A = this chain, B = another copy of it.
Amino acid sequence: MRNIKLTLEYDGTNYAGWQRQTNAVTVEQKVEEAIEKLTGNHCEVIGSSRTDSGVHARAYVCNFFTDSAIPENKLKGAINNFLPEDIVARECEEVSLDFHARFCSKGKRYIYTVFNGRQRPVILRNYTYYYHRELNIENMKKAAKYLVGTYDFSAFKNKGSKPRNSIRTVTEVGIVKKGDFVIFTVTGNAFLYNMVRIIVGTLLDVGCGRFEVDYIKYILDSKDRSKAGKSAPAAGLLLDEVFY
């Protein structure tokens, strides 16, 4: 038995997220089908995280076990032959049997892209959040600093989710303006459900003046989801890297 670590880039536009569902097409399903076609055997892939419907990935990591004898250096190309064009295997390597894409993950980096110009090109509609209001980037950067550290992020998680605990460590909330784009980089050891999107939505509320800079600290302390801003749309979000 071999354990294969697979790194995928995908365009999430046409998928109901990563995780398999009965009534919708997901990335996991497409990846499992590709491996099954290649190896001839049933395959269950272990993902590093769920991603929401419409969220993209530059380097999503998953792993799977196989008895296939296909050489390591041929696997990536072989899997790509069976994947649709919006999912691409970027790396494929044999790892020790105890590697687990989710449990072994030490952290993740997400990138969120906002289009803040006058007229968004049509071809960016699935990859950016079109935000019209003028943004005070300096205030957003100041507010973002309150989110770096180890805190109970209950105010920044989807109401429906019930994690064992809501303490997470965020190591970076970067904000850069490049032309018409405002790009958020959020890195942490792990994330609650919708956490990055709620962080972005809340920082945009600071940027447009709806929230004072210091109000972010109050939201964090409140542990109350209703105090934070809206969850920013899925299309702007990209899982950039998973750390091991």
Contacts and interface: CB of A to CB of B under 8 A. Distances in A.
Contact of A90 (B90, B119, B127): B119
Interface in A37-60: 56, 58
A127 B124 CA distance: 11
A123 B125 CA distance: 11
Nearest to A126: B123
A87 B123 CA distance: 10
Interface residues of A, number: 17
A163 interface: no
Interface string A124-149: 01110000000000000000000000
A10 interface: yes
A84 to B, nearest CB: 10
Contacts of A125: 11, 85-86
A81 B70 CA distance: 52
A28 interface: no
- Copies of this chain present in the complex amount to 2
Contacts of A86: 122, 125
Contact of A123 (B56, B119, B122): B56
A56 B125 CA distance: 14
Contact of A122 (B11, B119, B121, B122): B11
The interface centre, meaning the residue of A86, A87, A122 with most chain B CB atoms within 10 A of its CB, is A122
A7 to B, nearest CB: 12
A11 B123 contact: yes
A129 to B, nearest CB: 14
Contacts of A88: 122
A91 to B, nearest CB: 11
13 contacts: A9-B121, A9-B122, A10-B122, A11-B123, A11-B125, A58-B121, A85-B122, A85-B125, A86-B122, A87-B122, A90-B119, A123-B126, A123-B127
